[in-house]
Amino acid sequence: MSLVLVVEDDPAILHGLQESLRLERYDVLSASDGETGYRLAREKKPDLLILDLMLPKMGGFEVCRKLRSEKFVAPILILTARGEESDRVLGLDLGADDYVTKPFGVDELLARVRAALRRSGADAEIEVFDAGDFRMDLFHRLSVVNLRIPALRERKADILPLARAFLEKYGREMHRQVRGFTPEAQALLLEHPWPGNVRELKNAMERTVLMSDKEWVSPDDISLFEVRSSAAPLASHSLSTPSGLDLEGMERQAVLEALQRANWVQKDAAAALGISSRVMNYKIKKYNFTNPRWSRNKPPSDN
């Protein structure tokens, strides 16, 4: 019989998950905060971990990252809020095997549990029960879960783990040796209001890795975009942008226009934008720009 560990801080959702899994004849352990969930995962070695991302004491991202770094091999199924694509992508990058978006139905969740256990080879024989064993009240409780998604500024415990995860991700992609943040940089990240939530943090870390050659990121290496407010002046390290603009879209358009003006010569376009050829090459790959002049439809190398 498979052992499932559920880490969820909402009491109603946690209770519903426990009951539904037990009806399917799984052994169930539970925790309502990240620290306890992390400890139980290490000690009990469950066959499957169901992990919420927004947890007290230790966020779900940090739990996932630490477990995978310690060779935790059981599948991890993350519970994420609808519309937070960056949360899902980061969770999968950190080692999660699958995700379920809240609000979810119990049938979908149990199907994903069975699939994850089947892929891992840890599933026992699945028994089929008639409808009389099914708790419809639990189905409705799990199927209609109204959630308020806290802004990143209200989830300060998630800011540094997320920043480190993005820093490691872009460091690997760009082959840069970035070890972490100085204490001053950590303080800056915690103080920033993050009006763009996780997407803003992700973009800030990408720019940081692109523009800095340091092993330890300092406040001067971090460019933060924020909406100008009459109530709070911008810090010297911040850049302003009109409210409502898509910064990533603006960047993509600027790179495309520079390439077109330079007749698709990478070095000339990079010079026009004031960036290195290495950064330009990364942007071309990121936005999947192609041109018939490039061999095999790929941009030229930096060499």
- Residue given tokens 């409808």 in the structure block: 131
Asked if residue 99 lies in contact with residue 77, where contact means CB atoms within 8 angstroms, the answer is: yes
What are the DSSP calls for 138-179, one per residue?
HHHHHHS-------GGG-HHHHHHHHHHHHHHHHHHHT----
**Residue type for 67, please?**
L
How far apart, in whole angstroms, are the C-alpha atoms of residue 130 and residue 190? 52
97 membership: H or E segment, kind and range: none
pLDDT at 228 over 50: no
The per-residue pLDDT for range 154-198, each reduced to its tens digit, is: 778 888 888 888 888 888 888 888 888 998 888 889 888 888 788
The tokens describing 298, both together, are: 């790929």
Spatial strand order in the sheet of 27-31:
27-31, 3-7, 48-52, 76-81, 98-102
Q: CB-based contacts of 11: which residues, under 8 Å, 6+ apart? A: 32
Q: Which of 96, 39, 35, 34 is nearest to 65 (CA)?
A: 96
DSSP conformation class of 245: -
- Tell me the domains of the chain and their CATH numbers: 3-143 (3.40.50.2300), 153-245 (1.10.8.60), 248-297 (1.10.10.60)
Separation between Cα atoms, residue 86 and residue 251, nearest integer Å: 19
Beta bridge pairs of residue 29: 5
Maximum separation of any 2 CA atoms in the chain, in Å:
71
What digits encode the pLDDT tens for the residues 30-83?
A: 999 999 999 999 999 999 999 998 888 998 888 988 998 888 889 999 888 755
Residue 225's closest CA among 213, 236, 240, 208? 240
Pseudo-torsion of CA 240, 245, 249, 253, nearest 10°?
Answer: -80
Q: Specify the pTM.
A: 0.47
The pLDDT assigned to 232 comes to: 38
* Tens-digit pLDDT profile for residues 234-270: 343 444 444 444 566 777 888 888 888 888 888 888 8
Amino acid in position 82: R
AA letter at 151: A
What pLDDT score does 39 carry?
Answer: 94
Q: What is the tens place of the pLDDT at every residue in 74-128?
A: 999 988 875 567 777 787 888 888 888 887 888 888 888 988 888 877 654 444 3
Exposure of 144 by Cβ count < 10 A (0-12 exposed, 13-18 middle, 19+ buried)?
A: exposed
Distance CA 213, CA 209 (A): 8
Any idea which residue has 């540094």 for tokens? 160
Any idea which residue has 């991700």 for tokens?
Answer: 169
DSSP state string for 2-56: -EEEEE-S-HHHHHHHHHHHHHTT-EEEEESSHHHHHHHHHHH--SEEEEESS-S
Of all residues in the chain, what percent carry a pLDDT higher than 90? 12
